[in-house]
Each structure stands twice: as structure tokens, then as C-alpha cells.
Chain A
């Protein structure tokens, strides 16, 4: 087991964003994290990334309680732009290279170039689509064990989505684990192996899509509608 979440709970004021969530992730799989807005996906992801502390419950990473050292093998991509305002595209690569041993600078430069991002572009001047591409290029240039991608396809045009999905599939080598939060079910249906359905902070269901297709023939959209 790569990641084990036991009775994970997080409150924001009176609101229980994640409510006793128990969820296990295996090594080498691609998971889709699905749920309505405000269902607790981002909060769960931030807890798994070690950015947010659970109010109750625990997270085990490769068998031990998750700690700051584990961030070296967890690549988290937030849904919002988060790079420092003063940075240029090249500075982002320099920053990741300085702090993450698994970061491949050459790959980052190739990916950003392919995405139309010039090294001297100011991060704060990027459009939302370009900003999303930059976040992905930086995150996927790491050779992490666990990738947590929060809505990676948000704000990205159709053609670029194809490129991003190809990048993710290139990285998914059976040794690393991907968790991809998204509302774009049709875009991810072809490559995610498990769908994790979150509702009101609870785990509504975790479905092996291949088995489900064999058993009931339901598409991901149908499953989403039925479960949530």
C-alpha cells in the first residue's frame, strides 16, 4: 500500500470538509478523484500532500505517518496558480531543481518549449491556460512516486489537454501512482484505472473501471450519476 488514509477528518469552522474518509491507494495505479464542487477533493489532496493537517485521523505513506521528508517523493499540483510573482518560466525550473532531487531540468525545458512557454516569460503575466501548462510541466518533470494533480485539465484548450494526457501517460510507468482530480470525466475515462467518488467529504465508492465495464458496461459518466 502506498498511501493509507484512516478516518481522515478536516473541519473548516463548522463545515466538515472531509468526514472520516478512509481510503487506500496502491502503487503503480492511476486514480481519478471525482466529486462535486466542495465535496472535499482538494482538501483531501492537500492533506495527502502534507500541506494541510488533518483534524482527526491519520495518513500513512508507505507504512509510516506522513512527514515533511515524504514531500521529496510526492509531487503536488494545486488547481490555482501558486508560483511566486517575481518568477519567470526559467526561474520555476531553477527553483524545482534546487529543492527536488528528482527534478529533470532538461525535461522541464523541453516540455515548456513544446507548450509554447518561453524561458523569459513572467509567471504573473501568463494566461490561465499557460499558467496551468507551466504548473504541469514543473510537476511532471519530477520523477515522483506519487503525483497528486488537482484539476490539471482546468482552463486548458482541447489540443493542449491531449498533450497533457500524453505527458501523464508517459510518466505513468507502473511504479508511480497518479491521483487526478477532475470534472472532465470523458477526458480521463480512457486512462484512469480506478475512480474514487467523494461525496460530502465521505468516500462514496472506489470503482475498478475495467471490472465495472466488464460487469455492467456502465461508462464513467453513468457511474458518476448513479453513485453521486
Chain B
């Protein structure tokens, strides 16, 4: 599977480079702002980096779905589907490479924001201001009722929600290339299906919380999530992955 992941990541190299170049430009602007004491430039570039970090989080998920669609629609699809690899391995590699792509670009973006902010405080205010910033940030965590457990559970649930988008996208693309392939509007139908599947999942989620013992479940930490949320989204992701694999195995033609 490692080899498949390597080539999947290679397909997304261009977008990765574009994101890194944009990030580098924002960093240059930021340090120019620090150098010339231009608050607007500093603030604007940090805001751009924060916005960019959130944007790439979603974009990498959507990009994984777009690459998958291209792998089924163009002649380059033969490169993937002529390989002696099972559909599960191929889908799994696509999913893992989407995660890696997300972690790489999101991680680098977050690191850039963190290092820039810390660097600016150090440059402008010196070591004492830097230490105070760390202290103030820690206080926000403690007074705001956040702790590491909450943060980890938030990250995990965000990851599950992100996975859900990818798995829904995979299923919508496979449906468009199999049962809907005869339709002239297969692409449009795939997009509609994506939203329909999401809508159905949310309705099932609502119904789940009408069950008394689930509705009575305690929240995990301060974030308002319960263990049933985790179980529900994990089960839905698995079900979507399974449906995509079975459908592709039985019906998919490139």
C-alpha cells in the first residue's frame, strides 16, 4: 500500500506546492511587517495564514475526491486500475494519502502561524513579552475550561467529520461512475448525491438521539460531544467505505 500512497501523494504535489508558495508569500509579508513595524501588514498576513490553514483543511478533503473522480474519468485511470491491487487497497491508499496531504499542509500552515507569532513577539517585545504570551495563552486554556483531553477529542471528532466528507465523496463519485454512468448528468448527480447522503446521515443522527439512553449520555469534556457521536460517525464512515468498495468491486468500469 505504501507504493500506492507514494503515487497518490505525487498526484497532489502541484497543489501542495501552490499552497506552500502562498504560505511563503504570507510569511515574507509578515516578516516585512515586523521589519518595518507595519502592523497592518503583520496582522493581514497572520490572518491570511490562519484563513489559509482552515481553507487547506477543507480543500485537501475535496481535492482527494476530485483526484479520485479524475482517476475514474480519464484514460490515466488505467494506470491505477490495471494494477494487481484490490479495490480495498486502492481506496485505502487514497484515503490515507488524503490524510497525509491534509496533515502536511495543515501542519506546515499551523507551524508557520505559531512560529511567526512567537517570532514577532520575541522580536518586538523581547523575551519577557514572549514568556508573558505563553503564560496568557495557558491562562486562556485553564480559564476557558479547555484542557488537553478536550483538544484531543476535538481534533479526533474534527478528523471523523473530515473523514465523513471524504467517504461520502468517494461513494458519490463511485455511484456516478457506476449506476449513474449512463446519465448525461452523472457529474451533477454526483454532487447532488453528496449532499443527499450528508442529509440522510444527519437525519439518522437526529433519530439516534431520540433513543432515551443515547439522549441521556454524558458529554465528553467541555465540548458537548458524547461517546455516541464518535460511535455514530465512525460506523457511518466504515459503512460508506464498505459500500464504495462493494459497488466498485461489482460494477466499476474504467
Contact = CB atoms under 8 A, between A and B. Distances in A.
B3 A98 contact: yes
A99 B3 CA distance: 8
Contacts of A49: 82
A228 to B, nearest CB: 26
B75 A81 contact: yes
B254 interface: yes
Nearest to B178: A53
Contacts of B254: 46, 51-52
A40 to B, nearest CB: 14
Interface residues of A, number: 26
Interface of A: 12-13, 46, 49-53, 68-72, 76, 78, 80-86, 95, 98-100
Interface stretch (B6-14, B38-46, B47-55, B226-234): B6-14
B13 A51 contact: no
Interface of B: 3, 6-7, 10-11, 13-14, 75-79, 81-87, 182, 250-254
A84 B75 contact: no
B84 A83 contact: no
Contacts of A83: 76, 79
A78 B11 CA distance: 21
Contacts of A46: 253-254
Nearest to B89: A68
Nearest to B4: A99
B8 to A, nearest CB: 11
Contacts of B7: 84, 95
26 contacts: A13-B182, A46-B254, A50-B82, A51-B81, A51-B82, A51-B254, A52-B253, A52-B254, A53-B251, A53-B252, A68-B85, A70-B84, A71-B83, A71-B84, A76-B82, A78-B78, A82-B76, A82-B79, A83-B79, A84-B7, A84-B10, A86-B14, A98-B6, A99-B3, A99-B84, A99-B85
B75 A100 contact: no
B76 A86 contact: no
Contact of B83 (A13, A52, A78, A99): A99
B63 to A, nearest CB: 15
